Amino acid sequence: MSQPCAVISCKRTSRALCHCCQQNVCIPHLNEHSDQLNAQLGPLADQINVLGERLKTFNIEDIIRDYRQKLEQWRKDSYKKIDYYFEQKCQELDRLVLEKLNKQREDTTQIRAKAAELIRDQEATRQDIDTLTSTIRRLKKEMNEIEQERFRVNACPLLIDDCTVQFQKVCEYPFDLSNLSPAYKTIKYPNNSCYSLVNNDRLLLTHQAPNLCFMDTELRVVKQILWSYDMIGKICWSSTLAKFIILTNEDIFLVDENTMTIDKASLPIKQRWLSCTCFNDQLFLSTDAWGSSIVETVLLPSITVIREWKCPTTCTTDELIHDIDYSNGTLAAVIENKVRKSMRIELRSSKTLVRLWSLLLDDVYNKDMTFRCCSIDYHGWLVADLSTGRLLHVTTDGKMKQTIPYKAIPYRVNLFGSKILVVSTKSGINFHKI
């Protein structure tokens, strides 16, 4: 039995099933549906042509320029590491030989003095002559051994494989702390612990008196080393040195988690420091003084000052820079103004210190506390508000995105990887999943 055309206004009998609309239609409407589909081909072809023309305008050099610069920086940093390691091994080799030569010099000086004394007094005994002869014979033998001694240099090949440098697409995950989940783990601070913490993506470094503790992403303490120096002001990570940098009020220490050693760095200038931040072989330091200065140094082959920015370029004489933190060619600075009793965060170029933006932090002030911030990659900055107990999320363009009340006063905050927010409080360290 025939069916009418599915088009309501049509009185014709259906002749075919239209695969477009899955309805029975007459031949004219079937053709009409076909014409409608074909009519869409022209605009689609135009869009394809537009995409083709747009593709021609792409310049691969423009697209990869920033990434090539990062690769170039990696190459330079690698060369610096090799040169630094080479110099260390040369010094080690010098020490091996010099220690023996110094021993020979000491022995020779002593026997020369003994011989001179005997010559002066003219009271040499047969035992004295035998002793001198035996000592001279021994020294000759040892010097011959030094001249003939050989070292075997076991230099392992420098292995670079396909995993050394990898390219990964960045997934811009949402970063929203408005519904910050309760801490899924808390570590209580022992007495006299310092609040500073930082990570290198693999390990989180904290101070749990009396030790420096290295924690993995499973929050297990995998290493620890005794810290017997002054109170820690701030910690940062140097990818070039592959070491953590710890700042006290007057000194800088380099912590190597591979060798578990702590070395005091030699500073080219004497200052009281309040903050530091690092990028590749550059270390930025800010002074603990009203009208704070910012000092830029390079780390290899030793810490050397490149330039120093002073007041009023950095801030006014009534202002103190609490914290500086590097990210993507910029320095974020948290600054106190003691006259206005206010705090603000500024973003500046790390090359010129030109101010890019400034944001006043409302209701944020405590003259007895040091305020810190940390970069959260392309999501902006987090500021620990010690005055009202909040976390402040500032965007990369200097807007206040969120103010998140926290259950305790947050002294320090750090993003460990992309999924763990670490908050240091007076009583301990809280870990939140984000």
What does the pLDDT look like over 133-150, one tens digit per residue? 888 888 888 788 777 776
What pLDDT, on a 0 to 100 scale, did the predictor assign at position 8?
A: 81
Between 244 and 104, residue with greater pLDDT:
244
What pLDDT, on a 0 to 100 scale, did the predictor assign at position 399?
A: 94
Say yes or no to pLDDT of 69 above 60.
Answer: yes
What is the percentage of the chain residues whose pLDDT exceeds 90?
A: 47
The least confident of 160-169, 192-201, 332-341 is 160-169
Q: What is the mean pLDDT of residues 224-231?
A: 95
pLDDT digit string, tens, across residues 29-48: 888 888 888 888 888 888 88
What pLDDT, on a 0 to 100 scale, did the predictor assign at position 308?
A: 95
Could you tell me the pTM of the whole model?
Answer: 0.68
The least confident of 59-63, 83-87, 134-138, 246-250 is 59-63
Q: What is the mean pLDDT of residues 73-82?
A: 84
Listed residue (33, 19, 18, 24) closest to 2, CA to CA: 24
pLDDT digit string, tens, across residues 151-196: 677 778 777 777 677 776 655 556 788 888 899 999 999 999 999 9
What pLDDT, on a 0 to 100 scale, did the predictor assign at position 168?
A: 63
Say yes or no to pLDDT of 311 above 90.
Answer: yes
Between 419 and 338, residue with greater pLDDT:
338
Contact present, 46 and 31 (Cβ < 8 Å): no
What pLDDT, on a 0 to 100 scale, did the predictor assign at position 359?
A: 96
Measured distance CA(201)–CA(422) in Å, rounded: 13
The fold for domain 185-433 equals: Neuraminidase (2.120.10)
Say yes or no to pLDDT of 293 above 70.
Answer: yes
What pLDDT, on a 0 to 100 scale, did the predictor assign at position 176?
A: 83
Domain spans, the chain: 16-57, 60-121+129-142, 185-433
Between 85 and 381, residue with greater pLDDT:
381
Q: What is the mean pLDDT of residues 417-429?
A: 91
Q: What is the mean pLDDT of residues 371-397?
A: 92
pLDDT digit string, tens, across residues 240-284: 888 999 999 989 999 999 899 999 998 878 899 999 999 888 999
Say yes or no to pLDDT of 420 above 60.
Answer: yes
The least confident of 161-175, 198-212, 309-323 is 161-175
Say yes or no to pLDDT of 238 above 80.
Answer: yes
The mean pLDDT value of the chain amounts to 88
What pLDDT, on a 0 to 100 scale, did the predictor assign at position 56?
A: 84
Say yes or no to pLDDT of 226 above 60.
Answer: yes
Lay out the sheet containing 373-375: strands in order across. Answer: 373-375, 381-385, 390-394, 400-405
What pLDDT, on a 0 to 100 scale, did the predictor assign at position 150?
A: 67
pLDDT bin (cut points 50, 70, 90) of residue 228 is very high
Contact present, 53 and 44 (Cβ < 8 Å): no
